[in-house]
Amino acid sequence: MSAAWWSGSDAAASFGQVLEVLVRTSIHERGRKGSVKGITRVVFALRRLGSRCLPACIAMLAAGHSHVRAQPFIPGTTYFGSDGYIEYHAGNTAFIVSVPHGGTLAPVSIPNRDCKDCSYGLDYRTQELAREFSARYAEVTGCSPHMVINLLHRRKLDMNRDITAATDSNAASEIYWQDYHGFIDSAKSRIMRDFGQGLFLEIHGHGHAKQRIEVGYLLRSLTLRQSDSVLNSASCIDSSAIAHLARGNRQSFTHAMLLRGEPSLGSMLARAGYPAVPSSQDPFPLPEDDYFNGGYNTLTHGSRTGGSIDAVQLELYSAIRSDGDERSAFVDSLVRIVYRFIALQYLEDGAPPCAGLSGVARLDPARTLTLYPNPARDRLHLRAPEAIASVRVYNLLGVLLLEEHDPPGGTIPIGQLPPGLYIGSIRLRDGGMLRVRFVKE
Ligand SMILES: [Zn+2]
**What is the 403 CA–ligand 1 centroid distance (Å)?**
46
d(CA 146, CA 78): 10
Q: Which helix (H) or strand (E) segment is 310 a member of?
A: strand 309-316
Output the CA torsion sign for 66, 71, 76, 78: negative
Q: How far is CA 176 from the centre of its chain?
A: 21
**What is the 167 CA–ligand 1 centroid distance (Å)?**
16
**What is the 281 CA–ligand 1 centroid distance (Å)?**
25
**What is the 197 CA–ligand 1 centroid distance (Å)?**
25
Look at residue 367 in the predicted model and tell me its pLDDT: 54
Cα angle for residues 411, 414, 420 (degrees, 5° grid): 130
Summarised one tens digit per residue, pLDDT across range 112-121 is 999 888 889 9
* pLDDT reading at 92 higher than 90: yes
**What is the 299 CA–ligand 1 centroid distance (Å)?**
14
pLDDT range class, residue 368, cuts 50, 70, 90: low
Look at residue 309 in the predicted model and tell me its pLDDT: 98
* pLDDT reading at 213 higher than 50: yes
Cα angle for residues 195, 69, 137 (degrees, 5° grid): 50
Summarised one tens digit per residue, pLDDT across range 238-273 is 999 999 999 999 889 999 999 999 999 999 999 999
* pLDDT reading at 51 higher than 60: no
Stretch among 3-17, 213-227, 396-410 having the lowest mean pLDDT: 3-17
**What is the 333 CA–ligand 1 centroid distance (Å)?**
21
Instruction: Phi first, then psi: give them for residue 206, nearest 5 degrees.
Output: -110, 160
Q: What residues are paired with 438 via a beta bridge?
A: 422
d(CA 177, CA 86): 9
Residues 6+ apart with CB under 8 A from 80: 33, 34, 35, 36, 86, 87, 88
pLDDT range class, residue 303, cuts 50, 70, 90: very high
pTM (global) more than 0.85: no
**What is the 215 CA–ligand 1 centroid distance (Å)?**
13
d(CA 61, CA 148): 20
Architecture of domain 368-440: Sandwich (2.60)
* pLDDT reading at 413 higher than 80: yes
d(CA 35, CA 344): 35
Q: What's the mean per-residue pLDDT of the chain?
A: 83
Of all residues in the chain, what percent are helix, strand and coil, respectively (each to 5)?
A: 40, 20, 40
What's the Cα-to-Cα distance from 46 to each of 69, 82, 272, 385, rounded to whole Å?
Answer: 19, 16, 52, 54
Which has more confidence, 172 or 98?
A: 98
**What is the 125 CA–ligand 1 centroid distance (Å)?**
11
The residues of the chain that CATH labels 2.60.40.1220 are 368-440
Look at residue 356 in the predicted model and tell me its pLDDT: 77
Q: Counting every residue, how long is the chain?
A: 441
Stretch among 61-65, 122-126, 372-376, 417-421 having the lowest mean pLDDT: 61-65
**Rounded average pLDDT over 115-143:** 93
**What is the 100 CA–ligand 1 centroid distance (Å)?**
7
**What is the 36 CA–ligand 1 centroid distance (Å)?**
26
**What is the 157 CA–ligand 1 centroid distance (Å)?**
12
Instruction: Phi first, then psi: give them for residue 158, nearest 5 degrees.
Output: -105, 105
Least Cα distance to 434 among 377, 382, 395, 398 occurs for 382
Look at residue 58 in the predicted model and tell me its pLDDT: 40
The string of DSSP codes covering 150-184 is E-B-TTT--TTS-HHHHHTT-GGGHHHHHHHHHHH
What are the DSSP E strand ranges found in 152-293?
198-205, 213-216, 276-277
Stretch among 28-32, 104-108, 416-420 having the lowest mean pLDDT: 28-32
**What is the 162 CA–ligand 1 centroid distance (Å)?**
14
| Residues 40, 42, 43, 46, Cα dihedral to 10° | 160
**What is the 99 CA–ligand 1 centroid distance (Å)?**
8
**What is the 115 CA–ligand 1 centroid distance (Å)?**
17
**What is the 413 CA–ligand 1 centroid distance (Å)?**
49
**What is the 239 CA–ligand 1 centroid distance (Å)?**
21
**What is the 205 CA–ligand 1 centroid distance (Å)?**
6
pLDDT range class, residue 48, cuts 50, 70, 90: very low
**For the packed helices 126-141 and 324-346, what is the interaxial angle rounded to 10 degrees?**
60
